[in-house]
Amino acid sequence: MCPRSHRAASAIDGTDMTITYIGGGSRQWAPKFVRDMALSELDGEVRLYDANYEGAALNARFGNWVQDEHETSGEWTYEAVDALDAALEGADAVITSTQFDPTETFVHDIDIPQKYGIHGPVAATIGPGGIFRAMRTIPLYREFAAAIREHCPDAWVFNFTNPVHFVTRALYDEYPDINAVGLCHEVMGTRSYLASLASEQLDMEATREDITCNVKGINHFTWIDEARCQGVDLWPLFEDFVDAEEANRVFEPAALEDESVFVDNQQVTWELFRRFGIFPAAGDRHLVEYATWFLNGSDADLERWGITYTGSDYRSKHWTPAESEQTTDVTAWLEGDREFELESSEEVFADMLEALAGGESFTTNVNMPNVGQVSDLEDGAVVETNALVRENEIRPLAAGGFPRQVRSLITTHVDTIETIVEAARTDDVDEAFAGFLLDPQVRTLQTERARELFAELVAAEERYLTDWDLDGSAVLSESSAYDSSH
C-alpha cells in the first residue's frame, strides 16, 4: 500500500500566517517556540490559549519583546486569547503542548506504581504512569479535535503533548480528516549520537544533518534498519562497535549520583541491537519502559545499564518556578535579571511550516496513522516514520516491517494504545483496565493486584478523570483501594 499524503484545502501563506498555540502558557516549550519563529522566514500572528491565562499573557509579552528588542528574520505578533473557539477560528496551524499539574498527577504516576514494585524511569508515555497520563489527556484532546473541525478544519496540527502516540491517535479518532502529526525529538537525538559515533570511529566531521536513516516504530520505541553518514553505510560500524568496550559498560549506582536524570549511556541501545540486529532510535530511559526486561529486579539492576530514575521530587520541583532548574525563565529575561540569547531550539517545527508554505522541502520523523508506511503493524495505529514535508503536503515514507521478535514487542504496545483510545470513546473504565492489563510492566502483577494499582491511581487522580464513567465501573466497585477513598 502506498502511504497516503496529507494535504490541506489551500496552501499556507508564509507572509501572513495564523498560529494557535494550545498550551500557550507553557514555561518551557512556548519560549522555545517564540525563539524559533523569530529566527524563521515566516511572518504572522500567534494566538496563545491556555487554561492559565496569566501564563499565556506572560508568553505573549515575551514574544512581542523578542520581536521589538531583537533582530529577527520572522515578523510575529503575539496575543493571549481566553477562549478556545476564538483562538482557533481560521487558524492555519495549531500547536498542542499541554499537561496537568504534575504535583497532583505526575507524582502519583511515579510513586503509586512503586508501591507495587513497578519503577518506571520516566512514567510519561507507557506503563501505568503513561496510561493514566493518556486517560487524563485523551478526553480533552477529543474536545480540541472537535473544535478544530468546527473552526479551522484544514489547519495543520502539531502535537507535542505526551504520550504522543495516544494523544495523536485520539485526535484522529475524534476527527478522522484532521491534518495532525505528533512530533518528538528522540530520533533527532539518535541521529546526533550516530553523528558523534561516525566522527569518533570513522574520522568524519559529522552533524545530525549528515545522518540519514530509515525510521519505523511507535513513539519512544522507534528503530532503524538503515543508516548512513554523508552517504557512508554505518551498518558495518554498528556490527563492529557492538563488541567494543564502550558498548559493554557496567555501571555502579554511585557513578550515577551526580548525573542528570536525562543521562543516556546507550547501553540498552547496544544490548537490543546485539539481541535483535536492528538499532533502537530512542533514549535508553524510554526504551526500557517498552522493552521491560531491564526494569525487572532491583533499582541497581536498572542502574547497571547507566540509567537513573526521574523521581517524583524532580517532577514536582520542575513544575514549581522557585525550585525549577529549567533553562527558560521568561520573567528573568524580561526584567533583565538573566541574559537572553536569541538561538534556535533545534526542533524542526519552524522548518516544517516553512516547507508547507512553499519553502525548501525536507524529510523528518513524524507520528501519523499507519496507512502502509509500516507494512506489518495495524492500519490506523499511530506509527513513527520519516515523512516528506513540502508545499502543502506531509507524505509518510514507506519504511517496511520488522523482525518477528521486535514486531511482537511493538504490537503489544499498539494493542494497549488502541484499547485505551477505544475505551475513551464511551468513557468505559473497565475497558481501559483491560488495556492497562496488557502493558508489560503491569503484567508483573496478579490481576487482582493490578486492579488495586489501577483503582489507587484513579482515586488519587479522580478530579482529572471526570470524563470517565467511574460510578459505572465494576473494576472500581470491586476494589478496596477505590472504596476506601470514598
DSSP per-residue letters across 191-218: HHHHHHHHHHHS-----GGGEEEEEEEE
pLDDT recorded at residue 316:
73
φ, ψ at 70 (rounded to 5°): -135, 155
pLDDT-derived band at 482, boundaries 50, 70, 90: confident
Strands 156-159, 93-96: pairing is parallel
Residue 446 has pLDDT above 80, yes or no: yes
Residue with cell 496563545: 48
Predicted confidence (pLDDT) at residue 195 exceeds the cutoff of 60: yes
Report whether the peptide linkage leading into residue 163 is cis, meaning its omega lies within 30 degrees of zero.
yes
Q: Which residues does 156 contact at the CB level (< 8 Å), separation at least 6?
A: 8, 12, 92, 93, 94, 179, 180, 181, 353, 356, 394
* Measured distance CA(216)–CA(347) in Å, rounded: 19
Tell me which of 141-155, 254-268, 325-339, 391-405 is least confident.
325-339
C-alpha dist (Å) from residue 175 to 147, 171, 431: 10, 6, 22
* 131, three cell numbers: 496510561
Q: Is 108 a catalytic residue?
A: no
Q: Model confidence at 1, in pLDDT bands (50, 70, 90)?
A: very low
The predicted model scores a pTM of: 0.95
pLDDT at position 466? 96
Q: Which of 6, 70, 119, 185 is the catalytic position? A: 185
Give the list of residues 6+ apart from residue 404 with CB closer than 8 angstroms, or none: none
CATH number for the domain whose boundaries are 17-183 = 3.90.1820.10
**In the chain, what are the domain boundaries?**
17-183
Mean pLDDT, residues 83-87: 98
Angle, helix 404-425 to helix 127-151, in steps of 10 degrees: 60
180, three cell numbers: 495532525
Q: Name the more confident of 298 and 7.
A: 298
Query: What CA–CA distance (Å, rounded) separates 393 from 374?
Result: 19
Comparing CA positions, the residue from 3, 348, 361, 19 lying closest to residue 157 is: 19
Quote the pLDDT of residue 325.
54
pLDDT of 311 reads 80
- Read off the pLDDT of residues 262-278 as tens digits, 9 standing for 90 and up: 889 999 999 999 999 99
Tell me the chain's radius of gyration from C-alpha atoms.
22
Cα 75 versus chain centre, distance: 28
| Burial environment of residue 212 by CB neighbours within 10 A (0 to 12, 13 to 18, 19 or more) | middle
Structure-block grid coordinates of residue 118: 513497578
* Residue corresponding to grid cell 476506601: 484
pLDDT digits (tens, 9 = 90+) for 134-183: 999 999 999 999 999 999 999 999 999 999 999 999 999 999 999 999 99
Q: What is the mean pLDDT of residues 84-92?
A: 98
> What is the rounded CA–CA span in Å between residue 444 and residue 484?
25
Pairing of strands 221-229, 232-233: antiparallel
